[in-house]
Amino acid sequence: MALAKSGSTFAEVMGELKKGKYRPAYFLTGDEPYYIDQISDYIEQNALSEEEKAFNLLIYYGKEVDVNALNVEARRFPMNAERLVVMVKEAQSAKNLEKLEIYLNSPVASTVLVICHKPKTESSGEKGARLTKMLKQLEKIGGIKFESKKLYDNQVPDWISKYLSEKKISVTPVACQLLTEHLGNDLSKIAHELDKLLVALPQGTTTIDTKQIEDNIGISKDFNRFELTKAISERNILKCNRIINYLAKNAAPLPPIISTIHQHFVRILKTHLMANSSEADLARALGINPFFVREYRGAASKYDIRRTVRFLSMLRDYDLRSKGMERGTIDDGELLRELLFYILHY
């Protein structure tokens, strides 16, 4: 019997699957659905041939599944195939999911049980506690519990670069940062947009730059949150005003803009506190590509530590106002112009 693989990484799980090694059970959970979908989709598409799927691929959905019946179905033997694949999608909605322990106490060697569990709060509450015994049994029989974790914002640029690199395409640091600012940390959304971009690229393209992003994804390479913080770093008043006018005209949501500016000044503060650090150490602490270290050191020379701390406090107030607290009748555009006026002139 294979050893349990609690805490397996995505690469480890996929590495086994691509070698044709299937575990008796998989519990795929966590708040990042992208990796859960990647693993379950691979099993669904590759564990059986097209001819075998008709009788040997059983897919259920959490709201509809009867776990008692599922315990019986999982004991079926495959028909003219090496294995039976039993998959439960949206398993967080299933009632009495912990009762799968009954099947896991004496599993069938030819069955591959896949549980796709995408919780919001279930994993930390009473429901999560009820699954503990079942999960211990799953691991005892050599199954895999895989937890898919959300990436931090500062991890997304590296993820984008790696995703494209695997497809033999590079991306410039500025283009990568632009994608990150626009798409956030939803990996499914990012992968979808990148795949669309790759299809649209001219044949023979090996590098993605800002123009290709603007042409194919619709993100302005000149008027966006990333360019705004860069203009703030340079104290370029004209450029800042052009960008905020564009953002206001296009009804860009204000809270994410203020959040981006706040993060920018947090990085400027860290740059002050790590003034004697190497470029590599500073880039790692700021969570940025080393390409951008020069910008933050330049920004630190224009915004001393006293002003940086004051702006961080002020940004917290503007964040609350952007969400409707004590803002009066001022609209988003005017609130953003007011904020930038204080940053650039005081």
Q: How high does pLDDT run on average in the chain?
A: 91
Residue 120 in domain: yes
What is the layout of strands, in order, in the sheet containing 111-117? 57-61, 84-89, 111-117, 25-30, 144-148
Look at residue 124 in the predicted model and tell me its pLDDT: 47
pLDDT at residue 219, as a whole number = 82
Same domain, yes or no: 200 and 244: no
Residue 125 DSSP code = S
| Residues 105 and 133 both lie in one domain | yes
Cα separation, 26 vs 116, in Å, equals 8
Inside any domain, residue 5: no
Contact 286, 280 (CB under 8 A): no
> Residue 114 pairs with which residues in a beta bridge?
26, 87
User: Residue 183 belongs to what domain range?
Assistant: 153-217
Phi and psi at 64, nearest 5°, equal -105, -20
Q: 23 and 140 in one domain?
A: yes
Backbone angles phi and psi of 145, in degrees to 5: -105, 120
Q: Are residues 299 and 261 in the same domain?
A: yes
* 178 shares a domain with 64: no
Pairing of strands 25-30, 111-117: parallel
- 3 belongs to a structural domain: no
Strands 207-208 and 111-117: unpaired
Angle (deg, nearest 10), helices 293-302 and 279-286: 80
* 3 state DSSP class of 113: strand
Tell me, yes or no, whether 30 and 136 share the same domain: yes
Q: Does residue 91 register a pLDDT over 70?
A: yes
Does residue 272 share a domain with residue 160?
no
The 10s digit of each residue's pLDDT in 249-263 is 888 889 999 999 999
pLDDT of residue 131 exceeding 50, the answer is yes
296 and 187 share one domain: no
Does the pLDDT value for residue 274 go beyond 90?
A: yes
Tokens representing 309 are 């701390």
Residue 1 lies in a domain: no
Is the Cα torsion angle 335, 340, 342, 345 positive or negative in sign? Answer: negative
Q: How far apart are CA 312 and CA 297, in angstroms?
A: 18
Cα-based distances in Å from 215 to 191, 208, 212, 219, 329 = 18, 11, 5, 8, 37
Is 173 among the domain residues?
Answer: yes
Report pLDDT for 6.
53
Residues of the chain with pLDDT > 70, as a percent, come to 95
CB 298 within 8 A of CB 267: no
pLDDT at 4 over 60: no
Domain of 205, CATH number, reads 1.10.8.60
Q: What is the CATH number of the domain that holds 246?
A: 1.20.272.10
Are residue 133 and residue 17 in the same domain, yes or no? yes
The predicted pLDDT at position 291 comes to: 93
Question: What pLDDT is attached to residue 114?
Answer: 98
* Whether the Cβ atoms of residue 87 and residue 114 lie closer than 8 Å to each other: yes
121-125, 208-212, 301-305 — which is least confidently predicted?
A: 121-125
Q: Which residue in 257, 264, 247 sits closest to 312, CA to CA?
A: 264
Whether residues 190 and 102 share a domain: the answer is: no
Q: Residue range 86-94: average pLDDT?
A: 95
144 closest CA partner among 4, 285, 277: 4
Rounded alpha-carbon distances, angstroms, from residue 115 to 88, 89, 135, 301: 5, 6, 11, 53
Of 148, 165, 186, which residue sits at a domain end?
148
pLDDT > 90 fraction of the chain, expressed in percent and rounded:
77
Domain harbouring 26, CATH code: 3.40.50.300
Alpha helix stretches (DSSP H) within the chain: 10-18, 33-46, 50-56, 67-73, 101-104, 126-130, 132-140, 156-165, 173-183, 187-200, 210-217, 225-234, 237-249, 254-273, 279-286, 293-302, 305-322, 332-345
Residues 294 and 326 in one domain: yes
Per-residue pLDDT, 86 = 98
From 217, 234, 259, the end of a domain falls on: 217
pLDDT band at 127 (very low <50, low <70, confident <90, very high): low
Q: Which tens digit of pLDDT belongs to each residue from 280-303?
A: 999 999 999 999 999 999 999 999
Residue 52 lies in a domain: yes
SS3 146: strand
Question: Residue 46: inside a domain, yes or no?
Answer: yes
Task: Write phi, then psi, for 98 (nearest 5 degrees).
Answer: -60, -20
At position 324, the amino acid (one-letter code) is: G
Question: Within this chain, do residues 157 and 142 fall inside the same structural domain, yes or no?
Answer: no
Q: How many structural domains compose the chain?
A: 3
| Cα angle 206-208-210, degrees, rounded to a multiple of 5 | 155
**Ramachandran quadrant class, 106 (left: phi over 0; alpha: psi -120 to 50; beta: rest):** beta
Phi-psi region of 125 (alpha: psi -120 to 50; beta: other; left: phi over 0): beta
Q: Does 204 reside within a domain?
A: yes
5-33 pLDDT, tens digit per residue, is 456 899 999 999 999 999 999 999 998 99
Tell me what pLDDT residue 120 has: 64
Indicate the residue among 148, 173, 188 that finishes a domain. 148
For the record, the structure tokens of 116 come out as: 């796709």
Residue with more model confidence, 215 or 341: 341
